[in-house]
Amino acid sequence: PGMAGAGGPGRKAMDTPQRRAALDRAATVCAAHFGATAAAGATVHKLQAACAPLRSAGSDPSVAAAAVVKFLAALDEGEGASTFELIECGGVEALSAFLSGNDLPKDDVWSEAIAARLSAFVRAASCDLPHRAMSGLVERLLDALAVTEALPMRLSASGAAAGAVAASSRAGAGGGAAGGGLS
C-alpha cells in the first residue's frame, strides 16, 4: 500500500548522492575482491601452455624432463600457483599422463622408456629446481586431492549402530567425558 509504485517496472533509477556513493563503494569492493580474477585467468593460461608438453613429452628422456621442470618452475613463479590454478590449468592430469608414460608406445620397451623418463626427471628436478620444489608439488597435489575428492558418509542401517550414534550424540551434547572428547 505505502510502497505501491516504488519499484514498478517503468521506474528509472534517479541519480542521487546516495546512489553514486553506493556505486562507488560497489566498484571499490569489486576491484578489491574480484580484480584478481583476471590475473588468475592469465596465470591459468600460462600454466596451460607450460603443462601442454607433458601430455606428449615423447621418448627422449632429457626433453621430457626439461618439459616437466619447466612446468614445475612455472608453478613456483611469483607467489606460486594456487590449488585452484593447478586444477584449472589441467596440471594434475598432465602430470599424471607424464608420470604414467601415457604418450609412450605400449610395446616391449615401454618399461625401459618410462624408467629412463622418470630417472631423467628426478635427476633434472634435483639439479635444476629449488630444493623445496618437489615438496611444494606434493603439497599442491595433496591440496588438489582434498579439494576434489568426495568421501560420502553412509550411516549404518544396523539398529545397534544407530542407537550407539544417538547415545554418543546425547552424551556429547551434555559436554561430559562420555562423548569421547568430541563434543
Q: What are 11-37's pLDDT values in tens digits? A: 556 778 888 888 778 777 766 665 555
- Rounded to the nearest 10 degrees, the angle between the axes of helix 110-128 and helix 91-100 is 130
Question: Are 82 and 40 in contact, with CB atoms under 8 Å apart?
Answer: yes
Which residue matches cell numbers 541519480? 15
Which tens digits make up the pLDDT trace of 127-155? 988 888 888 889 989 998 888 887 777 77
176 or 141, which is more confident: 141
> Where does residue 149 fall: left (phi above 0), alpha (psi -120 to 50 degrees), or beta otherwise?
beta
Dist. CA 36–CA 70, nearest whole Å: 24
Confidence of residue 69 (pLDDT cuts 50, 70, 90): very high
Determine the pLDDT at residue 71: 92
Which pLDDT score, from 0 to 100, does residue 1 have?
46
Is residue 108 classed as helix, strand or coil in its secondary structure? coil
Q: What is the pTM of this model?
A: 0.59
Asked whether residue 161 carries a pLDDT value surpassing 70, the answer given is: no
pLDDT given at position 40: 57
Higher pLDDT, 115 or 177: 115
The span from the CA of 69 to the CA of 6, in Å, is 62
Q: Nearest-CA neighbor of 133 among 98, 63, 81?
A: 81
Give the amino acid at 65: A
Task: Give the model's pLDDT for residue 174.
Answer: 47
66 CB-near residues (< 8 Å, 6+ apart): 124
